[in-house]
Amino acid sequence: MHMKSVYLDNAATTQPAPEVVAAMTEVLETHWGNPSSIHEVGRWARVRVEEARQHVANLLSCRPEEVVFTSGGTEADNLAILGILEHAQAKKTHVITAATEHHAILDTVHWCQSHGFDATILPVASDGRLDPSEVRKAIRPETALVSVMFVNNEIGAIHDIAEIGKVAHEAGVVFHTDAVQAFGVIPFSVADLNADLVSMSSHKIYGPKGVGALYVRKGTRLNPRTHGGSQERNLRTGTENVPGIIGFGKACQLCRERMDSAPPRIQALRDRLEKEMLETIDDVSINGSRVHRSPGILNCSFKGCEGEALLVGLDMQGICVSTGSACSAGSTGASHVLRAIGLSPEMAQASLRFSFGRYNQSEDVERVMEVLPKIVTRLRKMSPV
């Protein structure tokens, strides 16, 4: 297998930073103890884990004891929703979320609906954003939790989290936000969010896969999903993924160092590709808000083309992107996010997502523009439309 030339799927995952790999290798070779052990080997590992926790806390601007390590963003989402609902038990049985959430949230909510809980799944506007007043209207006396993602993974839309959190708190409802696509990507501190629970993922920010965290504001009560041991203040037991955690911590440290310079540079690349595409290719539309949008994500639809065929055409030229159309096994039908913002099934099936990251350069934009217009032309010739 050879390395691809142009990687533009950073919203799916990112390449681990060299410093991350070095830090993890060091841990695997040297500080490999069980952090819960009392002896010296264990203490070394414990110290490294707590260092990493501090790095996560620094990037979030929270207390280290508010950081609970998990196996990733999906587990953090599950822990937040199921943990809060189980803790609330018969008293509060209603959860509110949005139609454009990641499946880690929506599938968990659907599970709750078939297990005695009630859910309200709010629609979004055509720019992908949720109106906070919709949340206010949906809150009931038995609402246990509001969960709204910070940055949408498909279209990059940024919700007005601070306001939504405020609405939730005014009604005395716990607020969770899945910040997997925001943490380490755009600058914020947890105080800005009015959130009690925040999900984070390592592999979206040049850290390893298999590790993430849930921010649990001091005083927030939830039930754990795992039992056995007392790690992570009993909220997520099991021997810690030490190399993963160290890698995650290092990734957070690197993001914090670059938080002033990286987002504008990445945004400039994304904006350039968007501009050149709109100028060169007919019948391209941009999906989601162009104002409240993550710096690296570009989601667009190419009328008369199948997104999957575009993706394969680009893949065969060494360019990696993602699509909201899905004929690959494992998913059926068009993206729920694109349908939720009002796209027709045809336009949803005609979409691509480009997501820029730290290792992208301007040559990547040029390479895409060398190749993409020809693929679009070829596919449109084949289309009966």
Active-site entry in 112, 305, 320, 327 = 327
Burial class (CB in 10 A: 0-12, 13-18, 19+), 363: exposed
Q: Of the candidates 44, 128, 120, 114, which has an alpha carbon nearest to the alpha carbon of residue 335?
A: 128
Q: Is 191 in the site for other proteins (CB under 8 A)?
A: no
- Interacting residue with other proteins among 7, 175, 215, 354 (CB under 8 A): 7
Question: Do 266 and 360 contact (CB within 8 A), yes or no?
Answer: yes
| Positive or negative: CA dihedral 364, 366, 368, 371 | negative
With CA atoms as reference, report the closest residue to 194 among 143, 132, 139, 256: 132
- Quote the least distance from Cβ 330 to other proteins, whole Å: 8
Q: Confirm whether 255 is a catalytic residue.
A: no
The site that binds other proteins (CB under 8 A) totals a number of residues, namely 32
Residue 354 makes contact with other proteins by CB under 8 A: no
Q: From CA 338, how far away is CA 154, in angstroms rounded? A: 8
User: Which stretch of DSSP H or E encloses residue 121?
Assistant: strand 118-122
Rounded to a whole number of angstroms, the minimum distance from the CB of residue 318 to other proteins is 5
38 binds other proteins (CB under 8 A): no
H or E stretch covering 376: helix 362-382
How far apart are CB 270 and other proteins at their closest, in Å? Answer: 18
Going by C-alpha positions, the residue among 131, 247, 270, 255 that lies closest to residue 186 is 255
How many other C-beta atoms can be found within 10 angstroms of the C-beta atom of residue 193? 22
Q: Which amino acid is at 364?
A: D
Decide: is 385 part of the binding site for other proteins (CB under 8 A). no
- Least distance between other proteins and beta carbon 296 (Å): 16
Range in contact with other proteins (rule: CB under 8 A) among 52-60, 209-217, 251-259, 357-365: 357-365
Distance between CA atoms of residues 178 and 198, nearest Å: 6
**CB atoms near residue 94 (< 10 Å):** 21
Q: Under the criterion CB under 8 A, does residue 332 sit at the interface with other proteins? A: yes
Is residue 378 involved in binding other proteins (CB under 8 A)? yes
Cβ proximity to other proteins, 214 vs 314, nearer residue: 314
Q: In the range 263-322, which residues lie near other proteins by CB under 8 A?
A: 306, 308-309, 312-313, 315-318
- Residues 162, 171, 286, 326: which binds other proteins (CB under 8 A)? 326
329 binds other proteins (CB under 8 A): yes
Shortest separation between residue 310's beta carbon and other proteins, angstroms: 9
Binding site for other proteins (CB under 8 A): 1-7, 306, 308-309, 312-313, 315-318, 326-332, 359, 363-364, 366-367, 370, 378-379, 382
Task: Name the residues annotated as catalytic.
Answer: 327
